[in-house]
Amino acid sequence: MLDMLPVLLLGLSLGMLHALDADHVMTLSVLTNKQAALKPRLFFSFYWALGHSAMVIGIAVLLFVFDVKVPEQWAMFAEMAIGIMLVLMGFWLMFTFKRERITLHEHAHGGLVHRHWHDEKHVSNTQKSSNVQRAHKPVMVGLLHGFAGSAPVIALVPALAYGELSIVLLYLLVFSAGVMLAMLGFSASYSYCQKLLGERYALFQQYNRQVLALISISVGSIWLTQLA
């Protein structure tokens, strides 16, 4: 078991690096931007990582157990879908900000000024949606990312595992743990920075979503250009 430790540590490190790919970070940033609290962001990141891991491990089982390879056209379609999704999410974030009745509220708590965006529909919508309902979106997005990003991950496995299924699955589980840890860490850091900057600078709260929307559109456009 000890001789596998370097391989597993490599898998953990690669998983953490893989989680911070531009499309992953951009997607999580946009889809959790309206969540002011940390817990919903961690919830989204956790279920995104579960969907991503399930797809990668599922493709590995198909390849190593049943010798079934995912057609390259399917993987290319998934990559294109991610680029399109990034562009559409950017426009969605931009237009929902204008459509929804959102105002900037300022409160003082013990001498500390706290600013946040308030959506009149947010409270009622949040209360009505169950955990199961809210988990659907991050799981589906994670499945898409896992499918599109599975090829380079699976390609590394034979060289590391020498074709043994048990080592393949263990490696991918550790890799998936790295993905989850990195994404949870990113969500916590992003939430903290957004809250800190929002409390200190009103302009950040005002233009944060617009800038994020433009970045998402730009990343998606570059993504699609590279696939062309």
Q: Is 30 left (phi over 0), alpha (psi -120 to 50) or beta?
A: alpha
- Please state whether the predicted TM-score (pTM) of the whole model is above 0.75: yes
The mean predicted confidence, pLDDT, of the chain is 83
Res 33: pLDDT? 84
The Cβ of residue 66 has, within 10 Å, a number of other Cβ atoms equal to 8
CB contact at 8 A, 154 and 60: yes
pLDDT in tens, 29-82: 999 887 778 999 999 999 999 999 999 999 988 988 888 888 889 989 999 999
Compute the CA torsion angle 198, 204, 208, 214 (nearest 10 deg). -160
pLDDT in tens, 197-225: 877 776 776 688 889 999 999 999 999 99
Res 13: pLDDT? 94
**Distance from C-alpha of 228 to C-alpha of 222, rounded to nearest angstrom:** 10
CB contact at 8 A, 29 and 212: yes
Res 117: pLDDT? 53
Report the DSSP beta bridge partners of residue 116: 105
Could you tell me the pLDDT band of residue 195, with boundaries at 50, 70 and 90? Answer: confident
Res 6: pLDDT? 86
Compute the CA torsion angle 84, 86, 90, 95 (nearest 10 deg). 50
**Distance from C-alpha of 220 to C-alpha of 81, rounded to nearest angstrom:** 10
* pLDDT (average), residues 7-24: 93
Q: Does 177 or 68 have the greater pLDDT score? A: 177
pLDDT in tens, 95-141: 887 766 555 555 555 555 555 555 545 444 444 456 666 789 999 99
Helices and strands in the chain, H and E counts = 8, 2
**Distance from C-alpha of 207 to C-alpha of 94, rounded to nearest angstrom:** 10
Residue matched to tokens 């493709």: 59
Res 116: pLDDT? 56
**Distance from C-alpha of 157 to C-alpha of 143, rounded to nearest angstrom:** 20
* pLDDT (average), residues 154-171: 76
Residue 87 has pLDDT above 90, yes or no: yes
Res 162: pLDDT? 64
Average the pLDDT over each of 1-5, 82-86, 215-219 and give the range with the smallest value.
Answer: 1-5
**CA-wise closest residue to 7 among 150, 151, 152, 157:** 157
- For residue 163, the number of C-alpha atoms closer than 13 Å in the C-beta half-sphere is 1
